[in-house]
């Protein structure tokens, strides 16, 4: 049994073409020969399908996907007996938010707020069910032709009902570095406010054309996230209102307890910016203390991460 390619059959699914390929899996556009429906089939590469940790995460992704029913989330379909590990999802036509940002660099204020508002609706639905996505990023957000969005990829999502198989690492960071929260970098399981932080990163990027924490490599960027305050977005885009800047910086607070308490509160702020109370969050970024830098290096060492350069 080798790697699959378009033109082959996978049980009842005829693989038509490749939609995407990552280091761990390929996603194919396929036809269900049973009913003729066009679907998307996610197939892990063989070297990962036999890995017990990856296998658990993949089964968890399917379990969570089957339990969800929201217009802003890619549907996962129940399948018959499988000959190998794979996942069948609804097929939608659209453009990844990451591709849109690459082409447009940054979005209009109304467009960015609309996407953030839709993501809040999705997070409200998920968090009410004790599910934390933990990997919110533009690569996991599909923008449809009608302007609506679909969130996908629940491979590292946290489900409180599946505690025993949800967390397979002890101290290693889980997520995508640019969009990870500080607590994820520390190796925490994460909470609903972890998704709030990632949404703040996405909103910052949609409006400014860049993520708030950068560095010469991924470890320097992670170090910056742990030690620095973000550059106020209005300094990069002067047409942003003080209220919108306040919302973004509130979502990006390093301490989870200082962020919006939930997605409902963030949605309320986005939709009623006239009621947003301004604070001193826009003050100049704090200077790194020697103690904070030392603590970061010790934490990075404990997690097995290369130390970032100063």
145-159 pLDDT tens trace:
999 999 999 988 988
Among residues 190, 218, 186, the alpha carbon closest in space to that of 295 is found at 186
Mean pLDDT of 174-188: 85
CA–CA dist 203, 226 (Å, integer): 19
Three-state DSSP state, 271: helix
pLDDT band, very low/low/confident/very high, at 132 (cuts 50, 70, 90): very high
Q: Which of 109-118, 130-139, 217-226 has the lowest mean pLDDT?
A: 217-226
pLDDT band, very low/low/confident/very high, at 72 (cuts 50, 70, 90): very high
CA–CA dist 307, 194 (Å, integer): 24
Annotated catalytic residue within 17, 121, 128, 135: 135
> Going by C-beta distance under 8 Å and a sequence separation of 6 or more, which residues neighbour residue 168?
53, 56, 57
**90 or 3: which leads in pLDDT:** 90
Over residues 94-117, the pLDDT tens digits come to: 999 999 999 999 999 999 999 999
Mean pLDDT of 225-229: 86
Task: Reply yes or no on whether 117 is catalytic.
Answer: no
Three-state DSSP state, 12: coil
Q: What CA dihedral angle connects 119, 177, 21 and 23, to 10 degrees?
A: -150
CA–CA dist 85, 39 (Å, integer): 16
Tell me the domains of the chain and their CATH numbers.
Answer: 9-90 (3.30.200.20), 94-302 (1.10.510.10)
% of the chain beyond a pLDDT of 70: 86
The answer, yes or no, to whether residue 258 has pLDDT greater than 80, is yes
Tokens 């994820």 locate to 184
Tokens 């702020």 locate to 269
Among residues 201, 217, 50, 51, the alpha carbon closest in space to that of 140 is found at 201
> 58 is written with which tokens?
């993949």
């Amino acid at each position: 049994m080798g790697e699959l390619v378009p033109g082959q059959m996978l049980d009842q699914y005829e693989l038509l073409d490749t939609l995407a390929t990552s280091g761990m899996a390929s996603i194919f556009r396929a036809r269900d020969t049973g009913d003729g429906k066009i679907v998307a089939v996610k197939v892990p590469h063989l070297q990962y399908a036999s890995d017990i940790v990856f296998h658990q995460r993949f089964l968890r992704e399917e379990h969570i996907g089957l339990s969800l029913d929201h217009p802003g989330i890619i549907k996962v379909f129940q399948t018959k007996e499988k000959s190998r590990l794979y996942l069948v999802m609804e097929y939608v036509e659209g453009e990844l938010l990451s591709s849109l940002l690459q082409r447009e660099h940054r979005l209009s204020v109304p467009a960015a707020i609309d996407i953030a508002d839709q993501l809040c609706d999705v997070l409200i639905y998920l968090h009410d069910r004790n599910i934390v996505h933990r990997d919110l990023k533009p690569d996991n957000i599909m923008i449809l032709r009608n302007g609506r969005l679909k969130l996908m990829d629940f491979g590292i999502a946290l489900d409180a009902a599946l505690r025993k198989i949800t967390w397979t690492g002890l101290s290693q960071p889980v997520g995508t570095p640019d969009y990870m929260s500080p607590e994820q970098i520390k190796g925490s399981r994460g909470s609903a406010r972890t998704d709030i932080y990632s949404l703040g990163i996405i909103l910052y990027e949609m409006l400014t054309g860049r993520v708030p924490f950068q560095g010469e490599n991924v470890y320097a960027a992670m170090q910056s996230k742990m030690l620095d305050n973000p550059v106020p977005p209005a300094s990069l885009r002067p047409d942003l209102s003080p209220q919108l800047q306040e919302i973004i910086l509130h979502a990006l607070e390093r301490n989870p307890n200082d962020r919006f308490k939930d997605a409902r509160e963030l949605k309320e702020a986005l939709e009623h910016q006239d009621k947003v109370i301004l604070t001193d969050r826009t003050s100049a970024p704090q200077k790194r203390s020697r103690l904070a830098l030392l603590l970061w290096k010790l934490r990075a060492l404990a997690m097995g991460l290369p130390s970032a350069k100063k």
